[in-house]
Every structure is written in C-alpha cells, then in structure tokens.
C-alpha cells in the first residue's frame, strides 16, 4: 500500500513561510530587547545611590526607567 502525501497549495505554503519568518523576527526582536534590558540593569546596578540621585533616580526607579527607555518613552 502506497502512502500519499498531499502538499499545500503554493499560496498556503508561502503564507506559512511568511508567518514563520514574522514569528522568528518577533522572537529575535524580543530577545534583543531582553538583552538590552539586562545590560541597562547591570549598568544602573553598578551605580551608587548618590550617582543614581544625580541622574534623578532612586534605586526603586531603575526597573521602571529601563522599561520606559526600551519602550521609547524616556
């Protein structure tokens, strides 16, 4: 008994490949944002409370500030 394989129409395959590409791109973008957040957090974590105060920040503001910078709001 032979096995029959049915391939999707080329339009469906192209759409699936585009969706895969978009998903991959979005995943890589998210990974890049996470790495940038980690790098900023490390930078701020090394600062003393006095250095943070000169920047107008408290230690409690660091996470919120990083999120705002990465969202383009700061």
pLDDT tens profile 25-55: 999 999 998 998 999 899 999 999 999 999 9
The mean pLDDT of the chain is 85
**Is the model's pLDDT at 21 over the cut of 60?**
yes
Listed by start position, the domains of the chain span: 34-74
Please tell me what DSSP assigns to residue 55.
T
Residue 9 pLDDT class (50, 70, 90 cuts): low
Tokens of 43: 């930078």
pLDDT over 70 (residue 20): yes
Q: What is the pLDDT of residue 65?
A: 85
N-term to C-term CA, the chain: 66
* pLDDT attached to residue 71: 77
């Amino acid at each position: 008994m032979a096995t029959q394989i049915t391939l999707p129409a080329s339009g469906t395959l192209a759409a699936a490949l585009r969706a895969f590409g978009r998903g991959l791109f979005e995943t890589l973008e998210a990974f890049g944002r996470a790495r940038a957040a980690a790098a900023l957090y490390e930078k701020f974590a090394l600062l003393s409370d006095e250095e943070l105060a000169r920047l107008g920040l408290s230690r409690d503001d660091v996470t919120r500030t990083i999120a705002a910078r990465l969202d383009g709001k700061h």
